Amino acid sequence: MVADRIENFEKYTGLSEKIAAALKYLYENDFQKVSPGRYAIDGDDMFFIVSDYQTRKANECHLEAHQKYIDVQYMEKGEEWIGYAPLENQVPLCPYNDETDLAFFEGADSFIKLKKGMFAIFFPEDLHMPGTADVSSPVRKVVVKIKI
């Protein structure tokens, strides 16, 4: 997992060409003008999802994991806590769904606060629980999905 402010994106371009492209795309675009939905950058190999939602209490959420995609989550408006735990020997709450590239798990080892203008990168070995806060508040988040 990596977390930082988007203006520091160049520090992370050495991770991979696709991550570099995703971070540059987030840095160069204004997502306030984009309607919620899914948008292709490079077909199914790289796309982004714009979401507007209300944060929820952590006990109402679960950790999630992906096997096919890296998540680059960017906070366009608002702030939230994101739970984190390394994928080790946890037992999923339900079987991995290949169609949605999603499995859910219990608990989080730690939390980071993602504020407006920050991004976080979650790899397949990073369980993450986005969208949490002590008090419900609106956020706008952009998630770039990068096929592995």
Closest CA to 144 of 34, 70, 67: 70
| Cβ atoms within 10 Å, residue 3 | 15
Determine contact, residues 57/134, Cβ cutoff 8 Å.
yes
Distance CA 95, CA 2 (A): 27
- Average pLDDT, integer, range 120-136: 97
What is the pLDDT, as a whole number, of residue 36? 98
- Assess whether pLDDT exceeds 90 at residue 77: yes
- Confidence at 108, pLDDT banded by 50, 70, 90: confident
Structural domains of the chain ordered from first start:
2-147 (2.60.120.370)
What is the pLDDT, as a whole number, of residue 124? 97
The predicted-structure confidence for 3-28, as pLDDT tens digits, reads as follows: 999 999 999 999 999 999 999 999 99
Determine contact, residues 138/128, Cβ cutoff 8 Å.
no
Q: What is the 3-state secondary structure (H, E, C) of 8-63?
A: HHHHHCCCCHHHHHHHHHHHHCCHHHCCCEEEEEECECEEEEEEEEECECHHHCCE
Distance CA 144, CA 108 (A): 23
What is the pLDDT, as a whole number, of residue 107? 84
Distance CA 41, CA 146 (A): 10
- Confidence at 109, pLDDT banded by 50, 70, 90: confident
- Average pLDDT, integer, range 121-134: 97
The predicted-structure confidence for 23-76, as pLDDT tens digits, reads as follows: 999 999 999 999 999 999 999 999 999 999 999 999 999 999 999 999 999 999
